Chains A and B, each alone.
Chain A
């Protein structure tokens, strides 16, 4: 196991609602990235946090936002959910000076 855990495992939401997904990383993993993986596709980079500051963002609208906390946990928030937001959401964390990204098991979000 990678020591990166995500919650919840599965989630069903209605279009227009808001959702918060959580990720808990290992101690010392001060970089966390979030990815969206649609069925049958590769993960797409959403954004990255380093020491509680966003330091990179992919091609996702502002309704995708995040937070990183001092205890190496982080959140992905999505407002005004759309049907196309249905996907597996993965977080990945790295330790200071490391290059390997350790992925969590993902949260499968279904928007109906």
Chain B
């Protein structure tokens, strides 16, 4: 089955700096890669996703890149703000419908004011 590795497990940045979180996956059949943000005690919420036919996707301060050959994808957050502090999870799915997600272990991002 699919295995998703996520690094780093914790990341501390100064407000205004950029943050990068990286994930690798094992199953070359995976073709849908969402990123979720989970604040303390709250539900995971989708922040951005990318499909295998696209190399990069941006949404304001957030971007995701995908390298299918190397089987890795990354989340980039620019101009970080204290409210970006949360745990971020990458995930992979073998179908474009987003079924049966395999999640990474999570990255705790702390943005210092």
Contact = CB atoms under 8 A, between A and B. Distances in A.
Interface string A25-43: 0000001010100001111
Interface residues of A, number: 26
Contact of B97 (A42, A58, A99): A99
User: Range of interface residues on chain B?
Assistant: 20 to 34
A90 to B, nearest CB: 7
B89 interface: yes
A99 B31 CA distance: 12
Interface string B86-102: 00010100001111111
Interface stretch (A12-20, A68-76, A100-108): A100-108
Nearest to A105: B43
Contacts of B99: 31, 33, 48, 55-56
B103 A43 contact: yes
A100 B103 CA distance: 15
Contacts, number: 64
A59 B100 CA distance: 11
Given A43-B89, A59-B1, A103 B101 contact: no
Nearest to B46: A100
Given A42-B106, A43-B89, A101 B100 contact: no
A103 B43 contact: yes
Contacts of B32: 99
B6 A42 contact: yes
14 contacts: A2-B43, A2-B45, A31-B99, A42-B6, A42-B103, A44-B103, A45-B100, A48-B99, A98-B98, A99-B34, A100-B34, A101-B98, A101-B101, A103-B45
